[in-house]
Amino acid sequence: MIRRPVLVAAAVLLQVALVGGAVAPQLSARTGEEYRFRVGPVDPMEPLRGAYVALDYPDLLPREAPSGDIIGTPLPTGRVFVPVEVRDGVAHGRPAVRDRPASGPYLACDSSGHGLDCGIGSWFVPQEEAARLDRSLRDRTAVATVRIDARGNAALVDLDPTPAQAPTQP
């Protein structure tokens, strides 16, 4: 018969492994390289969750081809990878691909076919900062600092509502 301390230890180890597996991508991203993305709001407040901002990354999904044509191809569903390139000090996404890129920075995201979840969509703030942040985001002057590790895992580490050199809108 297995002793009670052994069962308790096994249960604790299983729980630690499950929690560790759930947060490992965000923790590993904290050691990645920093990239700055322009951001805007999606939904600035949710009363039950407190003051947070759901962020929109307008430069993450290209909306125009280099020729100027609008890109109308729907995203593939499931796991996709968005290569990232830096132009004028701000990160921009390139078209999402199904296969992991062999080189260069990229984001590992989940796609619903018309939107992406890259794990960097929410930023929590103290209640007193919410209104000021909301105004900056609506003006599209805010910049998010995102760390991306070598596997494409991303973590939002800072949100600057009034950057010294706010990127201009294209």
Tens digits of residue pLDDT in 117-140: 898 988 877 777 766 676 667 766
Pair of tokens at residue 26: 């965000």
Query: Which has the closest alpha carbon to 161: 107, 118, 123?
Result: 123
Pair of tokens at residue 4: 């009670």
Please name the residue ranges forming H helices in 95-169: 127-138
Measured between alpha carbons, how far is residue 50 from residues 39, 69, 118, 123, 134 in Å? 20, 40, 22, 11, 14
Mean residue pLDDT across the chain: 75
58: DSSP letter? T
- pLDDT category of residue 47 using cuts at 50, 70 and 90: low
- pLDDT at residue 73, as a whole number: 63
Query: Which has the closest alpha carbon to 125: 155, 156, 159?
Result: 159
